[in-house]
Amino acid sequence: MKQFIAFVKKEFHHIMRDNRTLLIILGMPVVEILLFGFAINMEVQDIRVAFYDPTPDDFTTGIAERIRQNSYFNYQGKMQSMEEMEESMRKGKLDLAVVFPQKFQESMVHSGKAAVQLLSNSSDPNRGSISVTYASAIIAGFQQEQADLIQIPFRIETENRMIYNPLMKSSYMFVPGIMGLVLMIICTIMTSVSIVREKERGTMEVLLASPLKQGTMIFAKTIPYMVISFIDFIIILLLSYFVLGVPVNGSLLLLFLVAILYITLTLSYGLTVSTLVDKQVNAVIFSATTAMIPVLMLSGMIFPIDNMPMVLQTLSAIVPARWFIEAVRKVMIQGLGITMIWKEMLILIGMILFLLGVTIAKTKKRLE
Amino acid sequence: MKTLKFLIEKEFKQMFRNPLIPKMIVMYPIMVLLLFPWAVSFEIKNIRIDVVDHSKSTYSRRLTDKIEASRYFILNDTPPDYRTAMLNMEHGETDMILEIPSSFDVDLVKNKASGVGMAVNSVNGTQGLLGSNYIMQIVNDLSSELRAELMHTLPPQSRASMIRMPQIDIVPQYKFNPSLDYKNFMIPGFMVLLLTLICGILPALNIVMEKENGTIQQINVTPVNRIHFILAKLIPFWVVGLVVMIISVSAAYLLYGLWPVGSVMAVLFSAIVFILSISGLGLIISNYSETMQQASFLVMFFILILILLGGMFTPVSSMPAWAQLIAVINPFNYLTDTFRMLYLNGSKLADVTGNLLALGVIAIVLNGWAVFSYKKRG
């Protein structure tokens, strides 16, 4: 035990000596959570719209005026021809074009029917379809006004309640994701690079020759990293709560427990990586390529997992961040208890055991 | 010039001495482009819904059937009360709850109006909003079906007013991506992501690795000037980046049939300018770092910011004004935009000159900085 404590102390000294790295490790999450928490927003805004209206009349100007005044739209002016419209759309200067036919009002009054064409720049499908939806709603509103029907019969009203995130803030969705991503990157690189560095320099062999048991030694090595990562987590949590206004509806203790599990898991992953490679460059490449894109794409941080094809849904099950993010959302935002997240926690524990098993097996082999 | 040639040769030898690097350059783009575009979709299908039907009448059943038949929804359960449904939501088994009041039927027939209640899990705001919009559409469909069927039960004057109700047909046309396929939109983004990772991380580790290994001392004592040194570091990554691009463009074509409508030369040309700027950033980080660990943290830090604020996943126009200012100096943003225009909008080289100029300026500033920050001392 005494040896163990001495070893942990040594590792702490090792880390504290390198002020610059420490500053980076603790400063990085601060900048990132603030930057992403405020800046990442899925809401479609600032839709650049233009009108093509060959024969302006009361109706077309009425519709155009309503769209112009809507805060989602950013009016770009009237277009003189369809060619001009196509051109500015191709140049990426226009998101939506509203095209009125000739004699819009006349045909509406006489035949009771008229058509409006909405051309949307759909290279971004989400933006494309949502701008059409917004414009359609405004036109439908105009139509209702014109119909001056006081009572449409057989109406069914829908009363809508948004639970857990009534203001529809993107940060509710992203903050747990950013936690998962930032911790994954920091922890994996931190452990894998520093251990491989000792291998590269040969100091690892010296350590292995010490009377301390191998398992104990690796455990001692990870403790300081665990402390630092947990401080990172606390910093992120404080900023999300006080600065970004993301609630902590569930038990704080449970949240800490989930965080400790996840940190242990990411550190174990770093350990596993360190047994697979023997150069620092490769440790970085390995950690970066396996930690970043899979977490961004398959953790449910940005894209809902339910929508993915089966193959990717299965693949996402081995991405640790997926289970962490799910558990954090449930505890932080939905305020649920341990009975609702035991599955996620068990999966995280299972992954830890698996990775530690692989690490120990690999290390033993190396020594033989 | 001769010095430069030898230096470049040295860099290539050093790079390929590590077998992981050529493997990564070839395999990683293929793997990423094969797998991850499929993960991207905001189109909400398979929304799981619980319907709490207190009315259990003809019309309420019709509403339930319509929801079940819709391609957006999966009817998860029809629990007897709201509490059970809420429990399902807490367990993560359902995303939405629709509650139909017991008087639904009577209200419709007698009072000609009725209502339903909806509760949506909106942790994911967009998903929640779209889900509730789809339900509203279905409910409106039902009510116009009922209007058509039950018109004869109405008094004559309201029947007349309904016939006079003017109609505006809205004809949407989704340009550049008529099938609203997200893959087409994301694949150009993935290409930029690959370039950023490979041509950002490798240079960031490069100089600092020489520092740790001590080989930088040898360069420092040889008569190599700073510009040659940095150029010799840059050019290999430039080649690596081009290889990554060629593999990515071919993979996008072979796997998804996606080919730049505009011009493929323009794609490669803009990539070249971008690679210079991102490698320049990597070299700056490498110059300022003392250890490879520092360099790797810093480069991941910057890459994450470039990517997440670069318009690949979320639109730059939705960001607050100060964050849009960051986008002005973000090379990732310019190249993603350029690639998308060239791939989807059919823009020509001339249409993207603005972006290319910006990328060029960024490249010059960053590489100038890289030259400046490389100091020949021990």
Give the pLDDT means over successive 10-residue stretches in chain A (368 positions): 82 84 90 87 83 88 89 87 84 87 82 83 82 84 68 69 75 88 92 87 75 75 90 94 90 95 95 90 90 89 84 92 93 87 94 92 69
**CB–CB of A243/A37 below 8 Å?**
yes
Query: Residue B349: pLDDT above 90?
Result: no
| Strand extents, DSSP E, A132-264 | 155-163
Mutate to test the interface with A, among B170, B344, B352 (most CBs of A within 10 A): B170
Among A86, A95, A50, residue whose Cα is nearest residue B346 = A86
**CB–CB of B239/B15 below 8 Å?**
no
CA distance A34 to A21: 20
Could A122 and B28 be called an inter-chain contact, meaning their C-beta atoms sit closer than 8 Å? no
B359 pLDDT band (50/70/90 cuts)?
very high
CA distance B351 to B347: 6
Number of H helices, E strands in chain A: 14, 5
Q: Strand pairing of A96-99 and A113-121?
A: antiparallel
Mutate to test the interface with B, among A15, A71, A155 (most CBs of B within 10 A): A155
| Strand extents, DSSP E, chain A | 47-52, 73-78, 96-99, 113-121, 155-163
* B266 touches A at CB < 8 Å: no
Chain A residues inside the 8 Å CB shell of B136: 158, 160
CA distance A353 to A265: 9
Q: Strand pairing of B96-100 and B73-77?
A: unpaired
Among A197, A209, A206, A218, residue whose Cα is nearest residue A271 = A218
Overall pTM > 0.80: yes
* B354 touches A at CB < 8 Å: no
pLDDT for the residue B277: 93
Residue type, B352: V
Among A97, A308, A311, A305, residue whose Cα is nearest residue B183 = A308
Where is B200: in which H helix or E strand?
Answer: helix B182-213
ipTM of this model?
0.84
Nearest to B173 among A118, A133, A153 (CB): A118
Chain A residues inside the 8 Å CB shell of B154: 153
SS3 B49: strand
* A208 touches B at CB < 8 Å: no
Chain A residues inside the 8 Å CB shell of B318: 41-46
Locate tokens 């300022």: which residue?
A: B288
Chain B residue with the nearest C-alpha to that of A170: B125
Helices A170-201 & A252-276, crossing angle to 10 degrees?
40
Chain A residues inside the 8 Å CB shell of B115: 156-159
CA distance A187 to A271: 10
Where is B309: in which H helix or E strand?
Answer: none
Question: CB within 8 A of A105, min separation 6: which ones?
Answer: A57, A58, A59, A60, A114
- Convert the pLDDT of each residue in B71-83 to its tens digit: 888 898 889 889 8
How far away is chain A from the Cα of B310, in angstroms, using its nearest Cα?
10
- Convert the pLDDT of each residue in B83-93 to its tens digit: 899 888 888 78
CA distance A316 to A305: 8
**CB–CB of A327/A345 below 8 Å?**
yes
- Convert the pLDDT of each residue in B151-194 to its tens digit: 777 777 666 666 556 667 777 787 777 777 888 888 999 999 99
Q: Strand pairing of B47-53 and B96-100?
A: parallel
Could B24 and A285 be called an inter-chain contact, meaning their C-beta atoms sit closer than 8 Å? yes
Residue type, A230: F
Give the pLDDT mean for B323-350.
89
Could B341 and A92 be called an inter-chain contact, meaning their C-beta atoms sit closer than 8 Å? yes
- Convert the pLDDT of each residue in B281-329 to its tens digit: 999 999 999 888 899 999 999 999 999 999 888 888 888 889 889 889 9
Residue B321: how many other CB atoms lie within 10 Å: 6
How far away is chain B from the Cα of A218, in angstroms, using its nearest Cα?
19
pLDDT for the residue A148: 57
Nearest to B347 among A91, A140, A293 (CB): A91
* A365 touches B at CB < 8 Å: no
Query: Residue B1: pLDDT above 70?
Result: yes
pLDDT for the residue A198: 84
Nearest to B296 among A89, A149, A193 (CB): A193
pLDDT for the residue B159: 65
Chain B residues inside the 8 Å CB shell of A45: 317-318
| Strand extents, DSSP E, chain B | 47-53, 73-77, 96-100, 113-121, 167-175
Each residue of B74-91: b (16+ CB within 10 Å) or e? bbbebbeeeeebbebbbe
How far away is chain B from the Cα of A1, in angstroms, using its nearest Cα?
30
* B1 touches A at CB < 8 Å: no
Q: List, in sequence order, the alpha helices (H) in B222-352.
A: 226-256, 264-288, 292-308, 321-328, 331-340
Chain A residue with the nearest C-alpha to that of B322: A39
Query: Residue B231: pLDDT above 70?
Result: yes
Structure tokens at A5: 């404590």
Chain A residue with the nearest C-alpha to that of B121: A163
Residue B223: burial class (beta carbons within 10 Å; 0-12, 13-18, 19+): exposed
Locate tokens 């071919």: which residue?
A: B250
pLDDT for the residue B378: 45
CA distance A86 to A216: 68
CA distance A270 to A272: 5
Spacing of C-alpha B325 from chain mean position: 20
Could A114 and B168 be called an inter-chain contact, meaning their C-beta atoms sit closer than 8 Å? yes
Residue type, B375: K
